[in-house]
Structure 1
Amino acid sequence: MSFDDVKSVLRGFYKARVLHFFIVLLLLFFILFRRIFVLQIVDGDSYDTDFTVRTKQTMTVSGAKGDIYDRNGVLLAYNELVYTVDICDSGRYEDNEEKNQKLNKIIYDMCHIITGYGDKVNTDLIIGVDALDEYVFECEEGEKMRFFRDIFGRKSVNELTDKEKAYTAAETIDYLCERFEIDEKQYSKKDIIYIIYFRNLMKNNSYQRYLKFNVANDVCERTVATILENSEELTGVTISRNYVRKYVDTKYFSHIIGYTGRVSQDELSELKEQDDSYEANDIVGKSGIEKAMELDLTGDKGVQEVYVDNVGRVTEIISETKPTKGNDIYLSIDAELTKKVYDEIELQLSRLILSKITLGGEESRYQYNAYGDITDVFIPINDVYFSIIDNNMVSIATFETSDYDNQRGIYRKFDDVRSQVIDRLRTDLKDGDTPLKELPKDMAVYEYYIYQYLLNNSIITRSRLDINDEVYKKWFDESISLKEFLVHAISSNWVDVLKITDETYQSLYETYDSLLEYILEKIPYDEGFQKKIYKYLVADQVVTGRELCMCLYEQGVLKDNGEYDRLKNYGYSAYDFMINKITNLEITPAMMALKPCSASVVLTHPKTGELIAVVSYPGYDNNMMSGTVDPEYYKKLRNDKSLPLINRATQSLCAPGSTYKINTSIAGVCEGVLGMDESLYCGGIYKTVTPSPRCWAYPGGHGWVDMTHAIMHSCNCFFYEVGYRLSIDSNGNFSNELGTTRLAKYAKLLGLGTKSGIEIGEAEPHPSDINSIASAIGQGSNNFLPINLARYVTTIATKGTCYNLSLISKIVAPSGDTVYNYEPKVNNVCDFVSEAVWSRIHEGMRLVLDNNIYFAGLGFAVAGKTGTAQENLKEPNHALLISFGPLYDPEIACACVIQNGYISSNAQMLTGEIYKIYFNQKKDEQPVINSGNTVND
């Protein structure tokens, strides 16, 4: 082809339309290529960052819980808006190792910022660190097993292996450190607990990575500023404004109101069955009304659609539905009355303690009658001094390093004696074979404590112990030495050898030597063991009361008003000092935890079944438990011997004593074995059965008495006979089972033997199922709660109307509309009891308190029935009184129980003061404290 031909073709192509299209197409490809180059190469990092910080999330927002008020509108629980620190796992990781290292470091840095400014990190981990810097479990056995269930991934506690159940606290930490790749050499033990706690929360909710967990509440502005300044490094850590629960006058209402906390797995499963909006980071009611009324107090959640950046911060709210506040709860209790009753309990307990303190030593503890029976129990002053240590009013852990010469001096005395004790133990456990009961008293105490220590620390495995083993029986009877028992325990495989030595192939006695080495290494530093030594130091006055009283000022328990120098310079005796402080309630019965140190009073409206006061002494500060339990405070409560966490009104079972005799009277008449006016003879001993039980009036007796006067005099022989008659079957044969069944039937109908209906948790009452004759006077295996007694006496006051008791007055929605108003709930009516029988019972109860000095001046008659329950001959009896008044038109019914209150007249004294408070006749006169520890009602 010639040049002209090519030129002609090109000229034709140039003039063709397809050329124009081809040029446009090339231009478009060029523009597209350039744009892709800019997007991926030039601005790739920028767009990647923009994508990362624009993650879209849907978040739920919890609203404020409803408030709680008393019947008169007095605020008891409310919400406060505060700064909180939260954390979630919002990071991006190349692999699991990077994830673990980053999260561990973030949690560590976050917690150090929070604690560095004096704020507290919220953790509920059941493992803590003791004074020896060793890991320990700080929970009950059941809670520990549930924790094991969760970390080992079992569906139930029953699926745990024996090995898993036997994990020590240290082994558990090691296991979790390995799981989360936590370097135990890099972090302190406290830091490891923080890291494990939050890592475990995240793991349990890994299917919801962006779920936030609360770390700290009510943090200061410096904590807020520092976390925000370091937000790039603290991925997933955010600052929020959230509501926290606050409580008013905490010690008075803690058992009723309860507290809130992070929902557990078990609670979450249960709540989701009723409301599927509950999530793993929710704060829910854990006890009391907070728990019982959780669904009412909690409002509907809000929902937010948001964009969050790469550290979890919300950058834009796309849409939002606001949460609603929960309903307000109005309780039936009167707050002012409750506070006055609580204060009266504390005052009367302190006066009772004061009346029992003696300057004598151990020999002055008991008073005996001519028959050798203990008739009174006293409190040697050394017990009062030792309570300063024993119930942790002061910390013995700081004595050695204290700035005060006094405390360091106490420690030196203790340390010298401890060395001697350890030497004696080494000698006895190595070479001795003296049976426990033949040892000097202090050595027997120390060695038995060692046995308990080995049990509590799972060195001796409880599940392996054979209680039918002959050697175990001898140990239990104290007829062999601790060494003999431990050698046998090792040979019987009761001892977990791997916890005391790494050696796997040892002989029996080599293993025993390893166990002995373990004991002598650990036991000197155990606080419980140290207190055993201190007890003898105080009893022997090696450590003096003056020195211990000075510690109360040195450790800030008491405020110094010049008395410290008087103590220091011997210008103030320790005895006078303690008497003064107890009198002024600067040192309370709860602080000492001597007996008595607890009581409960329950007041009802007989006409409605409403509870107007449910008081349990002592209480605690539920603000320290709100949201997340303060671990140090919770540890203090768990170690407090006055048991402040127990609601005495609904959890503390007690024999009813002679208050049960009303039930026996009604059972006897209604079963046709007792005439309402029939008289029975009391000669002081009930000889119908053998062995023959005595009346409290022995060696005297009450002679011929009818039901009314048997109630008045609380005649045991009368009610023994009724119990006997109730046990005779149709063939004339005696049957304990028949008698106890009949008694239990009426106890249930009268509201004593079944749960009361109160909204908060209550223990199960237990009508007696043994020994019908003893059961008839309130003994046997009868065990009831103060709340049961309150319901029982309310039924008696109303002549047979048995209510389900209630704490709820009304429920009010945020709109102000009342969604619930209390209506009396009648459980049953005892219409099988005639008016004539009720009249005789009420008259007998009137006579019980007739001309009683504690109820004088009220202007009306009060009906009551006393009770004294004996559990341990060497401890004070329990004192009880059930009552209602005025007799003919009752306004209140009252159950009063003083644990270890000696004698029922002390319950009368307390109840009389409560009636004066309720009817506005309270005066400040000094009541008469009754002596004795006898059962005379």
Structure 2
Amino acid sequence: MIKEFLNLIKENIVEHVKHRLFVVTLIVLVLFGVLIYRLFDLQIVNGEKYQESFTYKSVKTVSVKATRGNIYDCNGKLIAYNEASYTLSYNSATDLSEIAAAQGTTSNELRNDIVYKTILILEQNGDKISVSLPIKLTGKGFEFTVSGTSLNTFLMNVYSASSVDKLTDQQASSTAEDVFRYMRGKDLFNISDTYSDEAALKILAVRYEIWLNRYQQYMSVQLADGISEESYATIKENSNELPGMEVNVESHRVYNDAIYYAHIIGYIGNISNEEMDKYNENLDDSEKYTADDMIGKAGLESEFESYLRGKDGYQKMYVDNLGKVIEVIDSQDSVAGNDIYLTIDSDLQKYCYNALEKEITSILLAHIKNVTTSNDKDDIPITDVYFALFDNNIISIDDLAAKDATDLERSVNDTFQSSKSYTLGRLDDILNSSHIPLYNLTDQYQDYMEFICEQLSDAGIYSPGKISKTDDTYVSYINNNISLCEYLKYAISQGAIDISGISTKSDYYDTDEIYNVLTEYILKEFENNTSFDKLVFKYMIISGELTGSQVINLLYDQGILNMATDEDYSDYKAGSISSFDFMCKKIEQYEITPAMLALDPCSGSIVVTDPNSGAVKAMTSYPSYDNNQLTNSIDADYYAKITSDKTTPMYSRATMQQTAPGSTFKMITAFAAMNEGAIGINDVIQTKGYFDKTETPAKCWIYPSAHGTIGISKAIEESCNYFFYELGYRMATQDTGTYSDITGVERLQKYAGMFGFDSTSGIELPESKPQISDADAIRTAIGQGTNNFTATQLARYVTTLANSGTCYDLSLVSEIKDINGNVVYKNEHKVHNQLDFPAEQWNVVRQGMRQVVSVHTSSSALINQINVAVAGKTGTAQQSDARPNHALFVSFAPYENPEVTVTSVIPFGYSSGNAVELTGLVYAYLYDPDVLENTTITGNNALSD
């Protein structure tokens, strides 16, 4: 039986072997065996090895940032440097799925929780995140903080569009609230309703920044820099609850005494794509900037970027498909940037800034009057001071309507809303019903009518240039003889009104229909118009609806003044000091500064130079800003504050603000006249108060009196306009005997150019281009015409006067050294021009400048109490009949052997005597500081020039 069974098996085997499918079966079995072997080898024998090979996806290079060079003053005092600080980052590659699953939530919700807990830790320790969303929440709701291209880019990123053109119409027209709700919703970050809108906005700022980094997870996302040790410790202690949050030690740019140097030093920030393209155009690959680099954005930080930057190192590493670092395979150390040594004396710089604020404060106090209104442009009614606090956003109108508003704030807001409602109703009546002529309106509503035209013009709806200034209807409107309704309808008929931007209806409107669209737009626009709101507050203050006492108490409620530390407040509440005196006292004590009020004057500049080299020893612009708040990463709230500040604190007055030089120009006219043969050194002129040799007569400042018979030195001392009118006239007539305005102007331009006014001053910062007057030789000769110069350009001019002819380029940088102390740049003090005038000419002009101080200026003035002989020239320049004159003074000392020049400019500073007083403070500091102990700054120095 068994034998038969075995034979059967044998026969089957033989039969299968002989079958043609046997070979195919054998091949399949062999291949299957090979497959099993390879799987065993891949997964068991060499599994770990092949797994490592599989994760070597790509090589990435991460830059190791070089330490930026330091900046020192002329005495080696540190101004800008780098400090190790704690930086909070988020590791984008952190996988939260397992943790989220264990907690019964989603990765999205867990990430929101982690972000919010981190924000709370920072805020509890006085820190905050440095990233921000271009959306803010105000009392009026959500608003975008950007516009134009920046807004379009933001919308493109939010809606994941490949370009701005790919946005749908609905997406492109999204409101700030639309975007906020979308980002908060389930389609994006799914932020729970348990978070308030304020909290959600903070979470969104972080989530958005992380989300933008989603395609390069090997790069951490920086969320905050310069955080405190307390925040660092708390985040470390709670690291298990905050997966992905990392705190590292990084280099942080710091500016000492920032406010004094901000306009000189500038600040650094993240490089933009446009800047990267510009810088990289001529750089080798090893030196090129990357998207995460910091560069100088302003000031010397920007101008000397290539010196300060240093050379970055790098780390090359393997990263996996998730962007996680596997191994560092190569690295190179960074090389620190070069150190810059300035010509600036930091102690003098700080003193000049403080002296400038002190002088401007004293001018304000001299002109503030305890009246409601005044027709005298030299008076500042106290109501203007109260209103300035609202107008310059010191007192926040939005905070009055906030949820946490104080009782006083709510009360003021109720009064405001009532007053605003009444005003809008009154405007509706004037525009649409009564059509009252302007002369029958109060000053308040005349102001509103003017404001309406300004708003329409700013919106591009009204084009005043399309109506001639001599047009009868225009003249009637300017003279308040007709109503605004009549004028606007006339403007419509003249094509000066374009409503296409505010109406989508047919273009076929008659005048009345267009006017109705216009008034509807005006009234609706004013419902949420901050400038209109401020105008309402102005008249609430003037009318007494909002009292000085309420304004003062709002300063305490909103934290501008501190009740707990203010010794004056108890006296004020007890009634022993009036609201007027209290406010003046706060201004006098610099608790309320000119920069906060933005009244005339609120700004100024001082430039101090070494006349033997052109080196700038001090260059101050008031007001200034804290560049620490803008460097590394911008503090969005602070940036918004200073960019909306009416004093424009980021604007460098010394290098950018131009004013007419006024009588400071007269020394140029004297040199021009002497060298062109229009007057001899010892010649005199019989002056009158009225110059009538040309078609457009001109008056001397002393008219109807006259200065009599005087020569060059006396004319400079007295600043006699008639004398210099005559010199301008002579230079315009001496060729043919016939007056040629262009001839006179060209001669004055020639000599102004010799003194450096044909170019910028040479200082190593952006500077406005000087403008030498190109018309009216008579008025150009006294510094009027179209002359316009900066303080730095005037400083180069007086530097040339002080050293008798060498016109240096001004300079802020003395030398630059590398990390090893080797000098890589040395300032050789470039000479712009050499003026080879006879010594007698220099003497007669400089003698006149000395007499300006010693004879023409009061002997009791500070500048004449100092133990040094000062020579100088005052200048008063008028810009507007409605505003005070500019005050200027250029000077040098000691008179016999000049060591220093001081140029002071106070826009809208009333009188050049105030600029003289300011300059006296500087010379006292330099030569006779004991005098300062008994000095009273008046700010009311009437000096004619």
Contact residue 59 and residue 318 of structure 2 kept, 8 A: yes
In 2, the alpha carbon distance for the partners of 1:293 and 1:223 equals: 39
TM-score computed with the length of structure 2 as normaliser? 0.83
With 382-391 and 779-788 compared, the bigger mean Cα shift is at 382-391
Distance of aligned partners of 1:734 and 1:437 in 2 relative to their CA distance in 1, 3 Å threshold: farther
**What fraction of aligned residue pairs are identical, expressed as a percent?**
35
Gapped runs of 5+ residues in structure 2? 1-5, 18-24, 96-105, 158-163, 192-196
Return closer, same or farther for 1:109/1:472 CA change in 2, 3 Å cut-off: farther
The partner residue of 2:278 within 270, 278, 287 is 270
For 1:909, give the aligned amino acid. E
Work out which of the residue numbers 834, 840, 843 in structure 2 matches 1:836: 840
Q: Deviations over 1:894-935 (max 9, x none)?
A: 11111111111111111111101012424222336364767x
Inter-partner Cα distance in structure 2 for 1:7 and 1:415: 110
* Comparing 890-899 and 725-734, the one that deviates more: 725-734
Residue by residue over 1:703-743, the C-alpha shift from the partner in whole angstroms, topping out at 9 and shown as x without a partner, is: 11111111111110111011112223733443322222221
- The one of 916, 935, 942 aligned to 1:926: 935
Give the length in aligned residue pairs: 888
Change in Cα spacing, 1:37 to 1:606, as seen in structure 2 (3 Å) is: same
Q: AA paired with 1:316?
A: E
Query: Does 1:535 pair with 2:538?
Result: yes
Question: Equivalent residue for 2:80?
Answer: 77
Over 3 Å counting, the alpha-carbon distance change for 1:670 and 1:194 in structure 2 is: farther
Deviations 1:358-408 (CA, angstroms, capped at 9, x unpaired):
223323x52xxxxxxxxx712222222222222222212222445533333
Q: Does 1:335 align with 2:349?
A: no
C-alpha contact 2:463 2:496 (8 A) present in aligned 1:
no
C-alpha distance 110-309 of structure 1, shift in aligned 2 (>3 A): farther
Secondary structure of the 1:850 match is: helix
For 1:759 and 1:182, locate their aligned partners in 2 and report how far apart those are by CA, in whole Å.
Answer: 53
CA distance 1:672–1:172, shift in 2 (3 Å): farther
Change (3 A) 1:555 1:42: farther
SS at match of 2:904: strand
Structure 1 residue 873, shift from structure 2 partner: 2.1
**Structure 2 residue identity aligned to 1:862:** V
What amino acid is the match of 1:318?
Answer: I
What is aligned with 2:396? 395
Aligned to 1:901: 909
Task: From the superposition, tell whether residues 135 and 490 of structure 1 become closer, same or farther in structure 2 (CA, over 3 Å).
Answer: farther
Q: 2 CA distance for matches of 1:828 and 1:422?
A: 62
Q: 2:670 aligns with which of 665, 670, 673?
A: 665
Letter in structure 2 aligned against 1:379:
I
The equivalent of 2:435 in structure 1 is 433
Please say if residues 250 and 622 of structure 1, whose CA atoms lie closer than 8 Å, have aligned partners that are also in contact: yes
Deviation at 1:127, TM superposition (A): 6.8
Native 8 Å contact 1:608 1:824 kept in 2: yes
- Cα displacement (A) at 1:754: 1.8
Which residue does 1:279 correspond to in 2?
A: 290
Please tell me whether the aligned partners of residues 212 and 281 of structure 1 are also in contact (alpha carbons under 8 angstroms): no
| Separation in structure 2 between the aligned mates of residue 268 and residue 278 of structure 1, nearest angstrom | 6
1:598 aligns with 2:603: yes
Question: Residues 781 and 112 of structure 1: is their aligned pair in 2 closer, same or farther, counting only changes over 3 Å?
Answer: farther
1:404 aligns with 2:415: no
Q: Secondary structure at the match of 2:555?
A: helix
SS at match of 2:264: helix
1:17 aligns to what? none
1:609 matches 2:614: yes
Describe the SS at the equivalent of 1:883.
strand
1:688 paired residue among 693, 710, 730: 693
1:84 shift after superposition: 2.9
CA offsets 1:186-219 (integer angstroms, 9 cap, x no match): 776997899699979998x999886666443224
Residue 354 of structure 1 corresponds to 365
Distance in structure 1 (CA, Å) of the matches to 2:838 and 2:180: 67
- C-alpha displacement of 1:58: 1.2
Could you tell me which residue of structure 2 aligns to residue 752 of structure 1?
Answer: 757
The residue that corresponds to 2:303 in the other structure is: 292
**CA 1:405–1:198: 2 relative to 1, 3 Å:** closer
Per-residue CA deviations over 1:336-377 (Å, capped at 9, x if unaligned) read 1111111111112222222222223323x52xxxxxxxxx71
- The reply to whether residue 910 of structure 1 matches residue 918 of structure 2 is yes
C-alpha distance in structure 1 between counterparts of 2:503 and 2:233, whole Å: 47
Q: Which amino acid aligns with 2:935?
A: Q
Q: Distance in 2 between matches of 1:473 and 1:173?
A: 43
1:792 alignment counterpart: 797
SS in 1 for 2:394: coil
Out of 766, 780, 783, which is 1:778 matched to? 783
- After superposition, residues 62-211 of structure 1 pair within 5 angstroms as 62-85=65-88, 112=116, 115-116=119-120, 117-118=122-123, 119-123=127-131, 131-136=139-144, 144=148
Greater mean deviation of Cα atoms: 569-578 or 685-694? 569-578
Structure 1 residue 648, shift from structure 2 partner = 0.8
How far apart are the structure 2 equivalents of 1:622 and 1:182? 39
**Could you say what the CA RMSD is over the residues aligned between the two structures, in angstroms?**
4.5
TM-score of the aligned structures, taking structure 1 as reference length: 0.84
Which residue pairs with 1:345 in the alignment? 356
- The one-letter code sitting in structure 2 at the alignment partner of 1:380 is P
SS of aligned partner of 2:314: strand
1:850 matches 2:868:
no
AA in 2 matched with 1:72: N
Q: In the superposition, relative to structure 1, how do residues 43 and 507 fare at CA in structure 2: closer, same or farther (>3 Å)?
A: farther
1:637-670 Cα distance to aligned partner (Å, 9 max, x none) = 1222222111110011011010000111111122
Contact conserved, 2:800 with 2:806, CA < 8 A, in 1? yes
Which residue does the alignment assign to 1:251?
259
1:65 and 1:327 in contact (8 A); partners too: yes
SS at match of 1:362: coil
Q: 1:869 aligns with which of 864, 873, 877?
A: 877
Aligned 1:606-685 pairs, distance under 5 A: 606-685=611-690
**Which residue matches 1:98?**
none
**Conserved in 1, the CA contact under 8 Å of 2:184 and 2:200?**
no
* Residue 372 of structure 1: aligned partner: none
Whether contact under 8 Å (2:867, 2:927) holds in the other structure is no
Tell me the secondary structure at the aligned position of residue 604 of structure 2. strand
Q: Is the 8 A contact 1:124 1:628 kept in 2?
A: no
Structure 2 CA distance for aligned equivalents of residues 513 and 625 of structure 1:
46
Seen in structure 2, the aligned counterparts of structure 1 residues 201 and 821 have a Cα distance that, compared at 3 Å, is farther
SS in 2 for 1:641: coil
1:150/1:548 Cα in 2 relative to 1: closer, same or farther (>3 Å)? Answer: closer
Alignment of 1:23-34 (within 5 A): 30=33, 32-34=35-37
TM-fit CA distance, 1:839: 1.0
| Structure 1 pair 597–479 and aligned structure 2 pair: CA distance change class (3 A) | same
Contact 2:182 2:188 in 1 (8 A): no
What code does the residue aligned with 2:938 have?
I
Residues 755, 89 of structure 1: alpha-carbon distance in 2 compared, 3 angstrom cutoff: farther
- Distance in 1, matches of 2:778 and 2:138, equals 50
Q: Indicate yes or no: 2:589 matched with 1:581.
A: no
Contact between 2:905 and 2:915, CA under 8 Å: does it hold in 1?
yes
Q: Distance in 1 between matches of 2:942 and 2:629?
A: 38
- CA distance 1:609–1:230, shift in 2 (3 Å): same
What letter is aligned with 1:745? K
- Given residue 282 of structure 1, which amino acid in structure 2 is its aligned partner? D
- Conservation of the 8 A alpha-carbon contact between 2:438 and 2:481: yes
| Residue of structure 1 equivalent to 2:3 | none
SS of match in other structure, 2:63: strand
